[in-house]
């Protein structure tokens, strides 16, 4: 039965080749899996680092934006206070103009313009009242 013996030897050789190939494939697959695990771990670390940097940057920018907004609001309020002081200075200067206590020619001229404008307002208000009385 030499044919069966030959077939048996060929099957044994085929089994050994398959076993060796399978073992090699398993080892190769295990190595690849280990490499992929390492790559995924590195990717995870990079993602974590990038996310932390992004959050840090956003936090810093938001804080700076808040500070800038606060400072701009304070500047607008200070400018409003200055405008109110200008108005007070003007009112006081006009009072002094009426009391003839202002010697500066430019201030006298501005005071005279204010007086003229106030008279225009009074005249127009009287016209309004007259028109209302007729209705």
In a domain, 114, yes or no: no
pLDDT digits (tens, 9 = 90+) for 7-63: 777 777 777 777 777 777 767 776 777 777 787 778 778 888 888 888 888 888 888
pLDDT digits (tens, 9 = 90+) for 62-114: 888 888 888 999 999 999 999 999 999 999 999 998 898 988 899 889 889 99
List Cβ neighbours of 98 (8 Å cut-off, separation of 6 or more).
Answer: 111, 115
In a domain, 24, yes or no: yes
In a domain, 92, yes or no: yes
In a domain, 115, yes or no: no
In angstroms, the CA 26 to CA 33 distance is 10
Number of domains within the chain? 1
- Are residues 110 and 96 in contact, defined by beta-carbon separation less than 8 angstroms? no
In a domain, 116, yes or no: no
| Residues of the domain holding 62 | 2-102
In a domain, 33, yes or no: yes
Q: What is the pLDDT of residue 72?
A: 92
- Are residues 111 and 93 in contact, defined by beta-carbon separation less than 8 angstroms? yes
- What DSSP string describes 75-123? HHHHHHHHHHHHHHHHHHHHHHHHTT----HHHHHHHHHHHHHHHHHHH
**What does pTM read for this prediction?**
0.49
In a domain, 77, yes or no: yes
In a domain, 107, yes or no: no
């Amino acid at each position: 039965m030499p044919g069966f013996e030959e077939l048996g030897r060929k099957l044994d050789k085929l089994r050994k080749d398959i076993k060796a190939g399978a073992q090699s494939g398993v080892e190769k697959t295990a190595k690849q899996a280990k490499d992929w695990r390492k790559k995924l771990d590195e990717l995870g670390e990079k993602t974590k680092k990038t996310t932390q940097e992004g959050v840090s940057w956003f936090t810093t920018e938001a804080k700076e934006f808040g500070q800038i907004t606060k400072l701009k609001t304070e500047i607008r309020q200070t400018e409003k206070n200055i405008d109110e002081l200008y108005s007070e200075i003007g009112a006081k200067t006009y009072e002094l103009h009426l009391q003839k206590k202002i010697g500066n020619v430019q201030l006298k001229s501005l005071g005279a313009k204010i007086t003229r404008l106030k008279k225009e307002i009074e005249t127009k208000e009287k016209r309004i009242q007259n028109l209302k009385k007729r209705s």
